[in-house]
Amino acid sequence: MKGLILAGGTGSRLAPLTEAITKQLLPVYDKPLIYYPISTLMLAGIREILLISSNRDQDRFRGLLGDGSKWGLSISYLVQEKPKGIADAFLLGEDFINGQNVALALGDNIFHGSGLGGQLQLNSELSGALIFGYEVSNPSEYGVVTLNQLGEPVSIEEKPVHSISKLAVPGLYFYDSNVVQITKTIKPSDRNELEITAVNNEYLKLNKLKVVVLKRGTAWLDTGTPESLHDAATYVRLIEQRQGLKICCPEEIAWRKEWISNTDLESLANMMPKLSSYRAYLLNLLKSGIQPQ
């Protein structure tokens, strides 16, 4: 399975923060926001990633991430000239997808929870589409999925004014190889965008859409506003300081999956300034004696 990260958009709700730099490069406590969706795909066992962004930010992403080999990944890049909707990622990435199953992660979404990695890895041999449901108190701000008594999806609506369901659809989606052709059949919405909800509804019509409700205790954070960005940073800081474990640390994930060696991890740490607490954390992983798992 391959992975797409959509990191375009103008970030207008975060202005003036995003006038100089894209929101996916803004800090969420101790690491850039883009580290979080990359880590989510890594936890799903995905090593080939296409990052789609605006032309303005391509060089910044390349400078930060390189080709991904330092984390045992292969990261490539593609420009989205202007925002045309989330589903446009499948058309832009058609050559990269190359007839394989694909996961799409939004560049401003953060996921964290016990057992999340194991849950995500189950989707590599997917037939159809899989999306997640996450209970929220304000469903009118999201795409919302309604399930029947058997837990099967019966409808998906984009930002409904009134909804009996409180299950928002987070920015992480898994699809089989048919997603590109399905995307080519949908029409732009009233705002002239290819909506991901339209793609999901096509799979629903085919009876090939599965919904997994994220377990209680799993955190899903959307960082599209100053308030939510601050909340995400506070959440990460509190969990990391309380547990002494980092959230969405690509170096650690790669090491525990044995995509990089002890020597590789040490080299990555030593490339950072000596006063960096992130560097100290990576070196302490090696000193702890805990083997990758």
User: In this predicted structure, what is the pLDDT of residue 8?
Assistant: 82
Report yes or no on 179 lying in a domain. yes
Report yes or no on 256 lying in a domain. no
Task: Give the domain range for residue 150.
Answer: 2-243
Tokens standing for 248?
A: 């969405």
User: In this predicted structure, what is the pLDDT of residue 243?
Assistant: 94
Alpha carbons 25 and 256: distance in angstroms, whole number: 25
Report yes or no on 221 lying in a domain. yes
> By the 8 A CB rule, do 197 and 147 touch?
no
User: In this predicted structure, what is the pLDDT of residue 293?
Assistant: 47
Give me the tens of pLDDT residue by residue for the chain, a chain 293 residues long.
Answer: 999 999 987 778 888 888 888 899 999 999 999 999 999 999 999 999 999 998 889 999 999 999 999 999 999 999 998 888 999 999 999 999 999 999 999 999 999 987 777 667 766 678 999 999 999 988 988 899 999 999 999 999 988 888 889 999 999 999 999 999 999 999 999 888 999 999 999 999 999 999 999 988 899 998 989 999 999 999 999 999 999 999 999 999 999 999 999 999 999 999 999 999 999 999 999 988 655 54
Alpha carbons 279 and 52: distance in angstroms, whole number: 28
Instruction: Indicate the SS3 state at residue 245.
Output: coil
Pairing of strands 129-135, 2-7: unpaired
> By the 8 A CB rule, do 17 and 226 touch?
yes
Within 159-208, strands assigned E span 167-168, 172-175
Please count the structural domains in the chain.
1
Report yes or no on 250 lying in a domain. no
CATH of the domain at 179: 3.90.550.10
Could you tell me which residues come within 8 angstroms of residue 95 by beta carbon, excluding any fewer than 6 positions away?
none
Report yes or no on 110 lying in a domain. yes
Alpha carbons 212 and 147: distance in angstroms, whole number: 10
Report yes or no on 283 lying in a domain. no
Query: For the CA atoms of the chain, what is the radius of gyration?
Result: 19
Within 205-273, strands assigned E span 209-213, 219-222
Report yes or no on 270 lying in a domain. no
Report yes or no on 234 lying in a domain. yes
Question: Which of 7, 3, 29, 30 minimizes the C-alpha distance to 18?
Answer: 7
